[in-house]
Amino acid sequence: MARYIICPRCELNFIDADEQEYCDVCIKELSGERTFADGFDTEEAINQPAECDFSIVIPARNSAYSLKHTIQTCLDINYEGGYEIVISDNSTNDNQEVYNLITELNDARIRYYKTPRDLHLPKSFEFAFLKARGEFIFSIGS
């Protein structure tokens, strides 16, 4: 009988403790297989000076309907300083609904990024965090 535990490296995915030391995602990363950050200078991104007061990071995956309400709430914030809304679109390849929504909203405070490939939710958050330019970063779900 399999004994499932949380991966001791990422603490996110379940593994069969009798079969694996780490989850498949961690094994790929440890083996040097490409990650979403390949070719992207993460240290440079982290150390960039802030360009606005805060960033609201929203990872999305095939969720245009609920995302529309989330973004509208963020746009309705009564704040005189500068802020941005960073959308990390991790939708399946053929799903353009999130992109179409961002295009429809057409607001300069919204910054849209398509993930380079399918990512687990924590990596989608990380991808968006690296794109954020705010002094402070808040994250919410779509």
pLDDT per position as a tens digit, 41-57: 677 777 889 999 999 99
**pLDDT > 70: percent of the chain:** 86
pLDDT at 60: 92
Q: Which residues pair with 114 in a beta bridge?
A: 89
Q: What's the pLDDT band for 35 if we cut at 50, 70, 90?
A: low
The yes-or-no verdict on residue 21 having pLDDT over 90 is no
* pTM higher than the cut 0.75: no
Q: CA-to-CA distance for 67 and 79, rounded, in angstroms?
A: 21
Helix pair 97-105, 64-75: axis angle to 10 deg = 30
pLDDT per position as a tens digit, 82-95: 999 999 999 887 88
Q: CA-to-CA distance for 90 and 7, rounded, in angstroms?
A: 23
The yes-or-no verdict on residue 12 having pLDDT over 70 is no
The DSSP letter of residue 114 is E
pLDDT at 87: 95
More confident residue, 88 or 16: 88
Mean pLDDT of the chain: 84
pLDDT per position as a tens digit, 90-110: 988 788 999 999 999 999 999
Distances from the Cα of 35 to the Cα of 38, 47, 80, 93, 121, angstroms: 6, 20, 38, 18, 14
Residue 74 phi/psi, 5-degree rounding, is -65, -40
More confident residue, 31 or 104: 104
pLDDT at 32: 64
